[in-house]
Structure 1
Amino acid sequence: MNVLTRVSGLMTNAPFILNLDCDMHVNNPKIALHALCVLLDSKGEKEVAFAQCPQQFYDGLKDDPFGNQLTTLFLYIWGGFGGLQGMIYVGTNCFHRRKVIYGLYAADQDIQNGKKGWNESVLEMEMVFGTSKRFVESASQALEGKKFAPKDNLCNYLEAAKKVSSCGYEDNTAWGKKVGWIYGSTSEDILTGLDIHTRGWRSEICSPDPIAFRGCSPQDNIVTLIQQKRWASGLFDILLSKHNPILGFLCGKLQFREALGYVWLLCWGLRSVPEICYAALPAYCILTNSSFLPEKLWIHGALFVTYNISTLSESLRTGLSIRTWWNTQKMMRITTMSGWFFGFLVILLKKLRISEPIFEITKKEQSSTSFDGVNQNSGRFSFNESPIFLPSTTILFVQLIALGTCLFGWAQHVRSGLGYGLGYGLGEVLCSAYLVACYWPFLKGLFGTGKQGIPLSTIIKSTMLTFLFVHFCKLTIIV
C-alpha cells in the first residue's frame, strides 16, 4: 500500500485515496459522491480522516456455516465505534484523506502550511518522505492543500515513479513509521487506523443503499481459521507494542471510550486463554466430583439466557435466520479456542524471540461444483493435519469423557441410593453438553472420510492430551 501511495502521490497527488482489496468490486456507482459528502462537509473536512464502508459479500453460503460474513459485527460493533471517535479502518472499502496518510495531525488543520511537525528544510522532508525531489515536492503540495502542478512533462515523472516504487526506497525514512500505512503488525490496517485516531482525527461510516462494495469470502473453515489466526496475532501484537491504545489515550489524542473499544478488539488473541480454561473447567469438576457453580443457578442461567436472547434478536433484526445465529455462536467457540489461540501463541513466540510471525494470505477461491451445478460439500467442515484443529478436537474428547463419567456417576447414584453423593451439579453437566453441541462438526469429523474426516494423527495427539488432562484431574483428587 505504501508503494501505491507513493506512486499515485507522485503522478496525481489527488487529495483522496480509495483503498480496495483485489477481490472487491464496486456495487454502488455513486459511492465516491457519498464518501466525498462526508469528507468535504464543513465539519468533516477539518475532523474526518477517512470514510469506511462496511464489508458485504456476494458469495455467502446459506446460513453462514463458518460465521465469516460478519454481518452483525459491522452493524452493531463497528456501528458502536462510529458513535465514538469513529469507525476503525478495516483495510479495504475505505476513502482516505491523502494528507492524513502523509502524517498530518488534526491540530495542524488550522495552519496554512500543513508541514507543521516537519522541519521546513528539504533535508528534513527527504528524511521523512525519501530522497526523490519530485516526490518531496509532491508531498509538500499535498500537505499544503495545493493542487498538483508538475513543472515539466508528466512523462518525465515515470523515472521518478520507478525510483519511489523500489523496495529499498523507504530505507531510513519515516514510511511505515510516521507516514503511510504503519508497519509492525500483520493487522496493519487496524494499526494504521489506530495511529490516525491517536493523532486526533475522526472517521465516519459510509453505508449507502445499495451497499458500496462487495467481495468474496472464505469458502471453507480451514481458510476461515487461518484468517482469524492472522487477525488475532496482528491485533495482539499491537496490544503489546508502543501503539497500545491506552498509551494513545494518555500520550496522544485518542478518546478514552475509543481506546477501550480498541482494547476490546486487540484482546481477541488473549481472550483464547481464559476461554480454554473455562471450557476445561466443567469437565474438570465432573472428573474430580467437584463444583464451580452454586446450587441455585438462576443468576448464571439468567445471564446465559439474556446473552443468547440479545445476540439472537440482533441477528433477527439484521434479517438473518436462527440457524445463522447458531452457526455464528458455534464458530465463535471454535475460532476462539483454535484460530485465536494459535494467534496468541505466534506472538508469544515472537516476544520470546523464538520465531517471527508470517503473513498468511487468505485464499478466496470459488468452491468447485459438480455437473449439476451444486457443490456436494458446500458448508461442510473440512480437516487436515494442521495443528490448528488440535485444541478443538482435544476439548471435544475431554467433554465426551466428562459426560460419560457423569452418566456412570448418575447410574452409581441411583444404584447406591443416598449413600452416594455427587459433588457436581446440573450446571456443570449442561456446560459440557453445550460445548459438545458447539463442537458438533468435530464430532461428525471423527466418523467422516477424506477431507471431511479428522486425520488419524490429530486424533492420536488429541487422545494423548486428553489422557494427560484426566491424569491431572486424578492427581488433584489424591492431593
Structure 2
Amino acid sequence: MENTLPINLRRVKKTNLIINRLHIFTQGFALLALIYYRTNFLFQIIKIRDKNTPFLPHALVFLSELILSFLWVLSQAFQWNPISRKVFPERLPGNDKLPSIDVFICTTNPIKEPSVDVMNTLISAMALDYPADKLHVYLSDDGGSSVTFQAVKEAWKFLKWWIPFCRKYEVKTRCPVAYFSADESKDENEKFSSTEFIAEKKKIEKKYEEFKRRILKIIENTSSFTSRDHDPLIQVINDENCGVDSDKTEMPLLVYVSREKRPFHSHHFKAGALNVLLRVSGLISNSPYILVLDCDMYCNDPTSGRQAMCFFLDPKISPKLGFVQFPQKFHNIRENDIYDSQLRFFWPKLEGVDGLRGSMLVGTGFYIKREALYRTSNVQEDNDLVQLQKAFGPSYEFIKSLQQNYKLNASRDEEFSGVSLKEIRFLASCGYDNNTKWGKEVGFRYFSVLEDYFTSFNLHCNGWISVYLDPAKPCFLGSATTNLNEIIVQYTRWVAGLVEVAVSRFSPLIYGPLRMSTLQSMCYANSAYDFLIFLPVYCLAIVPQLCLLHGIHLYPKVTNPFFIVFSFLFLSSQLKHIQEVFSSGHSIRTWAIEQRIWMLRSLTCYMYGTLNGISEMIGLRAASFLPTDKAENDEQSKLYQMGIYDFQASGLLLAPLCTLYILNVVVFIIGVPKIFHIRQASKMFIQLFIPLFGILINYPLFEGMFLRKDDGRVAPSITILSAALCIIILSFGSLALIY
C-alpha cells in the first residue's frame, strides 16, 4: 500500500496573526487620526496666516509622516498571514526515484573571498547527503583566477578522503572548518565514541590541515590577479587531471567554469554568471533542480536537498512551485550583534510573504526549478527553431537540451569531445546573450543589479509560487559582514538595485497587481520603495529640532487629545518591534541595536543608494557590483567580538551621521533650559523627546566622536567637519524654515 502520509506541513502562526492584525487595525486608525489632525492644522495656518506659525516646517513634517505611513501600509502585507512549515524527508521515495540536482557556487575575487573559505563551501556542497550520481557541483570563477582553479583541484584531492569519511560515520556537519571546530562528541551516534572513529578523525583532520597549507602555498606562489579580459575555461575536475589514483569512491560531478570576459562588454554581474552556469550545466548534467550558493555560505545541514524535495515532489504544489528558499543565517554572529548583521528583521517578513504566494529569493540558499527559469516545460522536436533561437540563443545543442530525451555530453570520468567542448565554450562566451531573451524572460534577470529580487518578482508575476522553510538546524551558514564600512557599502548596493526597479515600468505597484495578488505586490513594493525612508528621517532629524530652538511647536501639547494619538503611534510601533524581537528569541538589547542600525541605514545607505540608482539609470555613472569583503581583519574582528563599534569608514559615509548627532545634542542642550524658562514644556514635549531618543539610541556615536582614543574611533577630522556642517544647518536651516 502506497504511503499516504504528507511529506510537508503548513501551519498558520495564529498567535502572531492575531497580534499582527490587531496592530494593523489600531495603528491604522491612529494614522487616520494623525492625518486628520495635520490636514486640519495646515488649513488653519493657511486661513489665519499667522507669522508666528510658519507653514513650511509643518508641511515638511506632515509630508514625512505621510511617507512613513505609506511605507507602513505596504509593510503590513508581510504581517497578514504568517506561516511556518515542516518537512518529513524520511517519507521521501528511495534514492533511485530522487531527481538530480545541480549546485551553482559563484566567486569573483580570491582576495576579498578567501580561497580556503570558498573551498569549504564547495566541499560541503559535494558532501551533501544525496545520491552521488545525482549531484553535480559547478563553481563559477568570475575573476578567472589561477588561484581558484588550482584550489578546486586541491579540494578534489581532499574530497577523496572527506566524502567516504562523512558517509561512513554519517557526519552531520560536512563543512570541514565547521566540523573540526565543533564538538562532535555531543552526537548521540555511538559511532563517534569508537576508537576507530577517533583514529580516522585525527587522520582526516591532518589531511585537512595539509589541504589548507597547499592552498596557502598556492596563494603565496601565484598571483591573485583577477582578469576582466579572458577566454572561457570549462574543466571537469576528476582524478586524472588532479593527479590522483582512481578508486571506487563514488563522487559527485565537479566542474570549474570561468566565463569569457571582455573589458567593454557588459557581463551583468552575478546574474550573468548564473546564466552561463545554466547553459553550461544544461549540456553537461541538465538537472531539473538547482541549488544556488554564495561562495561564503556553506551547507550546514547535508539533508537540505531532501528537505527541498519534500516540496518539489509534493503533487499538490509541485506543478506551480518555482523555488524553495532557506533563511540566510551566519556562523560568525556574536550574541551582541552590534551591526545587526544577522538581518533578523527580515525573518518574519519571509514568513509573512510565504503565507501569501511564497517567499522572495534572497540571493543564496535556495533550490530553484530549471523549468521556471526557462519559462518552458518541454520543447518538442517540431517546435519553431527560429523562435527558440530568439529566446535561448543560436546553440542548437542547447535547444536540444530542453527536450526530455536529451543525451548528456560527459560523465564524471571522461572529458568532453572536441565538438561538445567547443559548444560549451560558446555558451560561456560574453556575446551569447545578445539579441536573445536571456536576462529578460529567460534565466536570472538582468534589469537590476539585485538579480535575486527582480528574478523572484518576475517568477511570481508569471504565476509561479514559492516556499520558505526555516528548519531548527540552519541548512546554510554564511559569513556576515562585521565592520561598519562594508555594511554600509553592501546595503547601499542593495538599495541602488531596488531603486532601479521602483522607478521603472516594473514598479511592483504598477506591474505587479495585474499579475499577482495585491498583498504580494505590496510586499515587493515595500522592499522597492523602502529607499524613500531617508527623506522623512532626515526631515525629522532636522526640522523639529530647528523649530524647538525658535519656540515653534509642531506637535500637539500634552493636554491636547491628539497628543495621545502621537504617543500611541510611537509606543505601538516600538512595542510591536519588541514583540517581534522577543518572539525570535532575542532580547531588548537587540531592539536597541536594530533601532540604531535602522537610523544609520536611513541616513547613509538609503540616501547614497538612491543617488547611485538614479545616477546609473540616467547614465551619469556605470552600474557596478563590488563583492563584499569576506577577508577577516583581526583588529576589526576583535572590536566586533568585544561589542565595540569600528568607525573606520569613509568620511562621506560617516559625516551625515555625525553631523545630525551633533545637531541633536546641541539642540537638546540649548533647547531644554530655554523651553522650561519660557514655560512651553507641554507644547514642546514631543520635540524635546525626539532628539533625546536619537541621542540615547545612538550613544556609541557620541563615544566614537568624543570619548574613545583607539583606532576604531571617529576620525577627529570627520568630527570637526561634522561640527562645521552642523553650524551651517543651524544658521541657514533656520533662515529657510522660519523666514
Superposition CA RMSD, Å: 2.6
Cα-to-partner distance string for 1:120-170 (whole Å, 9 max, x where unaligned): 3212212211222211111x21xxxx2542489972222221111122221
Cα-to-partner distance string for 1:52-75 (whole Å, 9 max, x where unaligned): 01111111022210012022421x
Partner of 1:110: none
Partner of 1:442: 701
* C-alpha contact (below 8 Å) 1:56/1:214 kept by paired residues: yes
Matches within 5 A, 1:318-337: 318-337=584-603
Cα-to-partner distance string for 1:32-56 (whole Å, 9 max, x where unaligned): 1110111121122211100001111
1:362 to 600, 603, 628: 628
Alpha-carbon distance in structure 1 between the residues aligned to 2:576 and 2:410 = 62
Q: Which of 296-305 and 268-277 deviates more?
A: 296-305
Q: What amino acid sits opposite 2:595 in the alignment?
A: Q
Aligned with 1:18: secondary structure? strand
1:169 to 421, 432, 448: 432
Matches within 5 A, 1:195-344: 195-251=458-514, 253-296=515-558, 297-344=563-610
Q: CA deviation at 1:374?
A: 8.9
Q: CA deviation at 1:425?
A: 1.1
Partner of 1:462: 722
Alpha-carbon distance in structure 2 between the residues aligned to 1:68 and 1:390 = 22
* C-alpha contact (below 8 Å) 2:448/2:498 kept by paired residues: yes
Alpha-carbon distance in structure 1 between the residues aligned to 2:617 and 2:553 = 37
Q: Which of 263-272 and 447-456 deviates more?
A: 447-456
Aligned with 1:247: secondary structure? coil
Matches within 5 A, 1:123-134: 123-134=386-397
Alpha-carbon distance in structure 2 between the residues aligned to 1:476 and 1:21 = 49
The 1:439/1:119 distance shift into structure 2, 3 A limit, reads farther
Aligned with 1:4: secondary structure? helix
The 1:366/1:128 distance shift into structure 2, 3 A limit, reads same
Matches within 5 A, 1:54-93: 54-74=327-347, 76-93=348-365
Q: CA deviation at 1:209?
A: 3.1
Greater length-normalized contact order (CA 8 Å, ≥ 6 residues apart): 1
* C-alpha contact (below 8 Å) 1:31/1:208 kept by paired residues: no
* C-alpha contact (below 8 Å) 2:482/2:640 kept by paired residues: no
Q: What amino acid sits opposite 2:701 in the alignment?
A: F
Is residue 428 of structure 1 aligned with residue 687 of structure 2? yes
Alpha-carbon distance in structure 2 between the residues aligned to 1:478 and 1:132 = 67
Alpha-carbon distance in structure 2 between the residues aligned to 1:456 and 1:395 = 16
Q: CA deviation at 1:90?
A: 0.6
Partner of 1:402: 667
Q: Which of 152-161 and 225-234 deviates more?
A: 152-161
Structure 1 or 2, whichever has the larger Rg, is 2
Alpha-carbon distance in structure 2 between the residues aligned to 1:3 and 1:88 = 22
Partner of 2:167: none
Q: Which of 210-219 and 442-451 deviates more?
A: 442-451
Alpha-carbon distance in structure 2 between the residues aligned to 1:388 and 1:11 = 46
Alpha-carbon distance in structure 1 between the residues aligned to 2:616 and 2:516 = 27
Matches within 5 A, 1:29-178: 29-74=302-347, 76-104=348-376, 114-115=378-379, 120-138=383-401, 140-141=402-403, 146-150=404-408, 155-156=416-417, 157-178=420-441
The 1:411/1:51 distance shift into structure 2, 3 A limit, reads closer
Alpha-carbon distance in structure 1 between the residues aligned to 2:639 and 2:557 = 51
Aligned with 1:51: secondary structure? strand
Alpha-carbon distance in structure 1 between the residues aligned to 2:409 and 2:291 = 26
Question: Number of paired residues?
Answer: 456
Q: Could you state the TM-score of these two structures normalised by the residue count of structure 2?
A: 0.58
Q: Which of 19-28 and 285-294 deviates more?
A: 285-294
Q: Could you state the TM-score of these two structures normalised by the residue count of structure 1?
A: 0.88
Q: CA deviation at 1:279?
A: 1.9
The 1:5/1:451 distance shift into structure 2, 3 A limit, reads farther
**Alignment gaps of 5+ in structure 1:** 105-112
Q: CA deviation at 1:95?
A: 0.4
Q: CA deviation at 1:304?
A: 1.5
Partner of 1:475: 735
The 1:151/1:293 distance shift into structure 2, 3 A limit, reads closer
Q: What amino acid sits opposite 2:370 in the alignment?
A: R
Q: What amino acid sits opposite 1:155 in the alignment?
A: F
Q: What amino acid sits opposite 2:301 in the alignment?
A: N
Q: Which of 422-431 and 166-175 deviates more?
A: 422-431
The 1:190/1:477 distance shift into structure 2, 3 A limit, reads closer
* C-alpha contact (below 8 Å) 1:15/1:99 kept by paired residues: yes
